[in-house]
Structure 1
Amino acid sequence: MTGVVGALVEAWDELRLHKLRVLLSLIGVAVSVAAMTAVLAVGQMTAQAQTEMMERDMGRQTTLTVNAFAATPSGNSDVVPAMRELAARYQVDHASVVQWASGRFRAGGATFESQLQLVDQPYGTMHRIQLVDGAWFAPGDEDRLAPALVVNEAFLSAVDSPGLATHPTVTLPGANPVTLVVTGVMANRWPDEGPAAFVLYDSYSRVSGAPEVDPAMGAVPQLELWVPPETADLGMETVRRDLTAALGEGAMVDVYSNAVSGQEAFDRTFRLVVLGIGTLVLLLGALSLVNISLVTVRQRIREIGIRRSFGATSGRVFFSIMLESVVATAVAGVVGVGLAVVAVRNLPLESLLGFGLEDTPPFPLAAALTGLAAAAGVGALAGLLPAAVAVRVRPIDAIRY
């Protein structure tokens, strides 16, 4: 242990003596490490952003979507209770019935059409619903006399309300007019998005009865189940079997998963490509360090010869010379990683992507460690040739030079 510490101290002292030469040779190494680390980090953060964008549309990975149709005289009125019973039996914490509908809403003197989704409370977590004002449905909202409504900004503009402070309400005309209270507002998902709203399935059905289904989205209710990835295949088979048995003969049940195959392989390939390119750039940057080290060794022949005359072994000389390059590139790696962290942290990633991140990932530790390891590895390779030259120095050379 003492020998290792001594070699490190010696290497650091030599770097201090030749700091100008070493600094000039390590600028390229530091910049290369910063670029490679930053690209790896941005790649991982972009992958997180893509995952969140997909989960807003398709649900968390792995979400099972169940479409069911009952061939009984009562029709689809038995489907939703059977779906709820299935989710409760297997204790699925994040499960939601989804029914697409449409409605003609009235607010003040204005009347407008809006898309309407009937869901359960866990739907917000499963689809990463983000609100700009108000709150998503809470447990107990299904018992409200006036059902709660979560709308987008286009819907709120159609209501002509300045915000939730005025407790805006809308009415669904019909044989039994229903008054709904807007309790949450989402951002429009694209600039020209039309009015859209969410309401709790049980709350709406209790006061209004069967919804007016949206023919463009189909009349069959869906069930979404967020399950662990390792149970997806078994879950699909189990749900299909149990729900078919519950709905009786002639029932049609379709189950599919939103798991994206090949994504991990793509991410792994991306990291390897970036790592390969970054390592190549690091090797090019290390050429200057090799040149400086060779010149320095030629100037230190007398010093090395004297050390050999006092008993320094070839291994000790080789290790100390190579360690100088390793320490130098490791310091450059630390500087490069620091630059990458500052650059990535100040990068307006959300503005570039066009939407906010709910789970903003920290700077990837793996990217930082990869940058440091690559820098140290390149330093070891760059120190091999100067160390090999230093080993060939003999004590007599101290007199010659």
Structure 2
Amino acid sequence: MTGLVGALVEAWDELRVHRLRVLLSLIGVAAAVTAITGVTAAVDMLTQVSREQSERWTGRETTLTVSAYPMTGTPDVPAAAAAMDALVEKYQVTYATRVSWTQVAVELPGGAQVITAQSVDPHYGTIHRLSPGQGRWFAPSDAERLAPTLVVNEAFLAALGADDLSGHPTVVLQGDQPVTAEVIGVVANAWAGEGPAFTVLQDHVDRWGLMVDPWGSGAQVPALELWVPPGDAEALRDRATQDLAAALPGWQVDVQIPRGETDVLDSAARWVVIAVSGFALLLGGLGLLNIALVTVRQRIREIGIRRSFGATSGRVFFGVLLESVVATLVAGAVGVALAVVGLQQLPLDQLLGTPLQDTPPFPVAAALTGLACAAGVGALAGLLPAVWAVRVKVIDAIRY
């Protein structure tokens, strides 16, 4: 241990003496390490962004989507609802929601319109990572309110002639009887040019008979979404299919798990960036190699004197080798620090146009990768000078 510490201290002292010579090479090494570390970390962060965007549409990664419909005749909606409620209770699923689409007649300032609305339960917001830009999402207590509550998109709010929720905007919904609903939240439009749309609680649709049935298709059975632990998804899918098929004979039961793709950075593009950064890292190491060779030739007298005082070949070899390794490790640490600061200050929300709910920390693996690359290049750059230094003999101290 003493020998290793002594070699490190000696390498650091030599680096301080020759810092002006190696500075330019180390700048190239630091820049290359910054690029390699930044790309590695950015892939992880962008993957999280892609995962959240996918989950806003399909639900969390292990969300089971349960759908059931009769093979013949009209659906018995109460029986299907009871079977799905029993399923949630049996397996003690914490986050579950019904999901369906319906037509609702709405009285807007520009005239009455029939708008496609989504009816859900409060847990839909958690499963799909929905966070309104204004107001709030549905709470479980909203189901007991004496008037419907709506979460609308920006186009619907504009159609109401409102800019925000400070005036507590309301709208009349036509159902079995007209009812006034309050807007409690606003989400961004799903795409540019999206028309007015809103989300309402399934309990409110059932209570006030808000569904419009222009095609006479009759009542529809809402789908059921269950967010379950990853380890239980496959087993629960099979059990849920069996339980619902037994509870609803003659019905077609489907239970699916979304298979979202979260790799947002094309593999070829990623490896091209890493290859270019690696080439720059090797160029920095080549410059360091040239400087180390020149330095060793100038230190022949010093090395010969050390050999005369008993320095072993191994001590000389590792001493010279560690000079390059320590230099590139210092440059690598600077490069990793720059990558960390740069990515932490990068406004991902603004660049990608989507907010992040779970901002990923800087991956430790990326920092370790950058330091490992720096140490590897330092070892390669110091290998030849170290071999040269070992060949120096005591007589060379007198000759030079």
Which residue is 1:345 aligned to? 344
Following superposition, the deviation at residue 77 of structure 1 comes to: 3.1
Which residue is 1:298 aligned to? 297
Give the alignment of 1:363-382 within 5 angstroms: 363-382=362-381
Q: Measure, in 1, the Cα distance between the counterparts of 2:40 and 2:193.
A: 35
Following superposition, the deviation at residue 372 of structure 1 comes to: 1.1
Residues 179-210 of structure 1: CA deviation (Å, up to 9, x unaligned): 2111111111222111111111123312x137
**Aligned partner of 1:284: which letter?**
L
**Aligned partner of 2:156: which letter?**
F
Which residue is 1:14 aligned to? 14
Q: Measure, in 2, the Cα distance between the counterparts of 1:20 and 1:147.
A: 73
SS in 2 for 1:128: coil
Which residue is 1:319 aligned to? 318
Give the alignment of 1:60-139 within 5 angstroms: 60-70=60-70, 75-107=76-108, 110-139=111-140
Which residue is 1:237 aligned to? 238
Which residue is 2:356 aligned to? 357
Which residue is 1:188 aligned to? 189
Which residue is 1:257 aligned to? 257
1:399 aligns with 2:381: no
**Aligned partner of 2:226: which letter?**
L
**Aligned partner of 2:345: which letter?**
N
Q: Measure, in 1, the Cα distance between the counterparts of 2:312 and 2:181.
A: 86
Q: 1:174 to 1:228 in 2, by over 3 A?
A: closer
Which residue is 1:52 aligned to? 52
Q: 1:285 to 1:362 in 2, by over 3 A?
A: same
In terms of mean alpha carbon deviation, does 336-345 or 269-278 score higher? Answer: 269-278
- Give the alignment's TM-score, normalised by structure 1: 0.92
Which residue is 1:173 aligned to? 174
In terms of mean alpha carbon deviation, does 73-82 or 118-127 score higher? Answer: 73-82
In terms of mean alpha carbon deviation, does 189-198 or 290-299 score higher? Answer: 189-198
Q: Measure, in 2, the Cα distance between the counterparts of 1:73 and 1:185.
A: 36
In terms of mean alpha carbon deviation, does 352-361 or 82-91 score higher? Answer: 352-361
Following superposition, the deviation at residue 152 of structure 1 comes to: 0.9
Following superposition, the deviation at residue 73 of structure 1 comes to: 6.5
Following superposition, the deviation at residue 52 of structure 1 comes to: 0.8
In terms of mean alpha carbon deviation, does 373-382 or 359-368 score higher? Answer: 359-368
Which residue is 1:212 aligned to? 212
Q: 1:266 to 1:232 in 2, by over 3 A?
A: farther
Q: Measure, in 2, the Cα distance between the counterparts of 1:366 and 1:89.
A: 41
SS in 2 for 1:131: coil
Indicate conservation of the 8 Å contact 2:26/2:288, yes or no.
yes
Q: Measure, in 2, the Cα distance between the counterparts of 1:384 and 1:269.
A: 32
- State, as a whole percentage, how many aligned pairs show the same letter: 57
SS in 2 for 1:165: coil
Indicate conservation of the 8 Å contact 1:290/1:383, yes or no.
yes
Which residue is 1:154 aligned to? 155
Q: 1:345 to 1:265 in 2, by over 3 A?
A: closer
Indicate conservation of the 8 Å contact 1:26/1:328, yes or no.
yes
Q: 1:214 to 1:297 in 2, by over 3 A?
A: farther
Q: Measure, in 1, the Cα distance between the counterparts of 2:161 and 2:229.
A: 43
SS in 2 for 1:396: helix
SS in 2 for 1:34: helix
Q: Measure, in 2, the Cα distance between the counterparts of 1:201 and 1:82.
A: 17
Indicate conservation of the 8 Å contact 1:37/1:367, yes or no.
yes
Following superposition, the deviation at residue 241 of structure 1 comes to: 0.7
Residues 136-179 of structure 1: CA deviation (Å, up to 9, x unaligned): 11121110010211111111111112322211111112431122
Q: 1:267 to 1:92 in 2, by over 3 A?
A: farther
Indicate conservation of the 8 Å contact 2:46/2:265, yes or no.
no
Q: Measure, in 2, the Cα distance between the counterparts of 1:169 and 1:61.
A: 35
Q: 1:210 to 1:239 in 2, by over 3 A?
A: farther
Alignment coverage as a number of residue pairs: 397
Residues 232-281 of structure 1: CA deviation (Å, up to 9, x unaligned): 22122111111111112x111011110347x5799999877755553343
Following superposition, the deviation at residue 124 of structure 1 comes to: 0.2
For the aligned residues, what is the CA RMSD? 2.4
Q: 1:53 to 1:267 in 2, by over 3 A?
A: same
Q: Measure, in 2, the Cα distance between the counterparts of 1:364 and 1:120.
A: 36
Following superposition, the deviation at residue 315 of structure 1 comes to: 0.8
Q: 1:99 to 1:364 in 2, by over 3 A?
A: same
Residues 21-70 of structure 1: CA deviation (Å, up to 9, x unaligned): 11011111111011111111222111111111110000010111111014
SS in 1 for 2:181: strand
Q: Measure, in 2, the Cα distance between the counterparts of 1:378 and 1:101.
A: 63
Q: 1:271 to 1:191 in 2, by over 3 A?
A: closer
SS in 2 for 1:258: coil
- Give the alignment's TM-score, normalised by structure 2: 0.92
Uncovered stretches (5+) of structure 2, i.e. residues with no partner:
none
SS in 1 for 2:166: helix
Uncovered stretches (5+) of structure 1, i.e. residues with no partner:
none
1:23 aligns with 2:23: yes
Q: Measure, in 2, the Cα distance between the counterparts of 1:74 and 1:16.
A: 82
